[in-house]
Structure 1
Amino acid sequence: MAAYYNEIDPYAAQWLRNLISAGHIAAGDVDERSIEDVRPDDLRGYTQCHFFAGIGVWSFALRMAGWDDSRPVWTGSCPCQPFSIAAVAHERAGFDDSRHLFPTWFDLIRECRPVVCFGEQVGSRDGLTWLDSVFDHLESESYACAAAITSAAGAGADHIRNRLYFVANSMRTGRQRHQPIERVSLAAQAPFAESRNAAARLRALMAGDYSGLLSGDEPSIAVERCRARGYGNAINARQAAIFIECADEAMTHH
């Protein structure tokens, strides 16, 4: 069962292909077209669909949380520039910004009706306003929604950078149901979610300072571990597991 990745940046798209070839993310196809050019028929036959895919962090994080590649899911990290305080004020226009592409993604959701959707946005006041609109749209199509804000520091970075993550579960009659997955142990999650100084260690390691290595670690192994802790916009195995637990509980109780 193949995954679909939609990513318009050629550099990131090639990274996706490299990561797929290396087996780090779910096997599948990379589509470099704008999401505005994607039609529902283009997505037929795909078990997982990842929009605004970047370098496949959603696929990686879901795997770390125990979500099998064969389990259906859609993800979308919609552009944050229209709602980010880090963007230049006169260059962001909120819901009137041409980079506000959730409505386009929502059209595909409404037509294809995936069972579960995960997404993210900046964890700012404007991001929460965006989330209100997202939930209004999804709930109008019989999705139950929940969200949480987490920090990049929780993935080992040395800055806060709050990010908002949401999950939407279809409540439509006759939708496919799944058995709860086996939880990932805290010990298994620890290398990806527990260290608070991973960014500093990574900088030291890349500079050739191996004094912070654990006994028995090879430099290349430690570098990869530090990189894993810093993957993406604060997505980590623990947070993904929390969302999956919410998804399974919603399916169980409805």
Structure 2
Amino acid sequence: MNYYNEIDPYAADWLRNLIDAGHIALGVVDERSIEDVRPDELAGYVQCHFFAGLGGWAYALDLAGWPRDRPVWTGSCPCQPFSAAGKGAGFADERHLWPAWQHLINQCRPSVIFGEQVAKAAEWLRVVSSDLEGMDYAVGCMPIEAASAGGEDLRDRLYFVADCIKDGFNGARIPQEQRPRLSRAPRSFDGFPWASLPMPANAEDFRSVLLLPDGASDDLASIAAYGNAINAQAAQAFIESYCEARGLIFGEMAVAA
């Protein structure tokens, strides 16, 4: 059983629908603020996804072949304090929730943690890395543009992974046939066709956005949820890079330990 923490009601309902449909792992969706979550309440959960949004991290783990029964924590702390779209208050912003997540990590000691933040939040990542290293985690990070990983937008993000040094990590063979494949074909949801439309990003290039179903174009909740979502392809690529570095074996690809 997994744990999903998401304070936004629209995104939380979306998570429940994805769970019911089997698109992401079975789990409990908690709509409380992460600041109200106690460490002891997380005991017994295999995977914990904080700031879970639309389930992007859980989906990316599936795409990367990460077994649903292998422990891992993920989180995408609110980007508004550090993004151009936010107030720019940085660490003084009330939406700077890393300290709350840090407390849970320090108390629960998950062996592996994946996360991401906007590309301009280098100082935020420096603080997070320092805090994690102080808790005996090894930390690696990489900037990834979604388009470079097969995504349909230019979203640039800083991805990081924290590995608990003292816990170790055993390699595992994940058969190729067990790894879900990301379809490039247009998808449908509840009978509505989804397509991709070109949208000017600036004078020189174009990016793609999903076409919303009829009647939902003015749904600000859905637009906000999409805007906050991580790109699954980019997250998948980062997870796979970590697994390769850690000596995991995917299908027939043997990686030296």
Question: Given the two structures, how large is their TM-score scaled by the length of structure 2?
Answer: 0.75
Match of 1:51?
Answer: 50
Q: CA–CA distance in 2 between the matches of 1:206 and 1:13?
A: 19
2:4 alignment partner AA: Y
Report the identity percentage. 50
- Choose which of 84, 95, 99 in structure 1 pairs with 2:91: 95
Q: 1:183 offset after TM fit, Å?
A: 7.4
Q: CA–CA distance in 1 between the matches of 2:228 and 2:78?
A: 18
2:8 alignment partner AA: D
Unaligned runs of 5+ in 2: 185-194, 199-207, 214-226, 249-255
Q: 1:245 offset after TM fit, Å?
A: 2.4
1:96 alignment partner AA: A
3-state SS of paired residue (2:113): strand
1:139 alignment partner AA: E
Match of 1:115?
Answer: 111
Deviation string, structure 1 residues 168-206 (Cα, Å, up to 9, x no partner): 00012xx26322443759x975746xxxxx843887987
Q: 1:152 offset after TM fit, Å?
A: 2.5
Question: After superposition, where does 1:234-245 map in structure 2 within 5 Å?
Answer: 234-236=231-233, 237-245=236-244
Q: CA–CA distance in 2 between the matches of 1:247 and 1:83?
A: 31
Q: 1:231 offset after TM fit, Å?
A: 11
1:156 alignment partner AA: G
* Number of residue pairs aligned between Structure 1 and Structure 2: 216
Contact 1:66 1:182 in 2 (8 A): yes
Match of 2:144?
Answer: 150
Deviation string, structure 1 residues 70-114 (Cα, Å, up to 9, x no partner): 000000110000001232xxx231011110001110000000000
Match of 1:131?
Answer: 125
1:99 alignment partner AA: R
**240-249 vs 110-119, which deviates more?**
240-249
Contact 2:159 2:238 in 1 (8 A): no
Contact 2:136 2:164 in 1 (8 A): yes
Unaligned runs of 5+ in 1: 193-197, 208-229
3-state SS of paired residue (1:200): strand
1:178 alignment partner AA: N
Match of 1:68?
Answer: 67
Q: CA–CA distance in 2 between the matches of 1:117 and 1:31?
A: 19
Question: Given the two structures, how large is their TM-score scaled by the length of structure 1?
Answer: 0.75
Bigger share in strand: 2
Provide the aligned C-alpha RMSD in A: 3.0
Bigger share in helix: 1
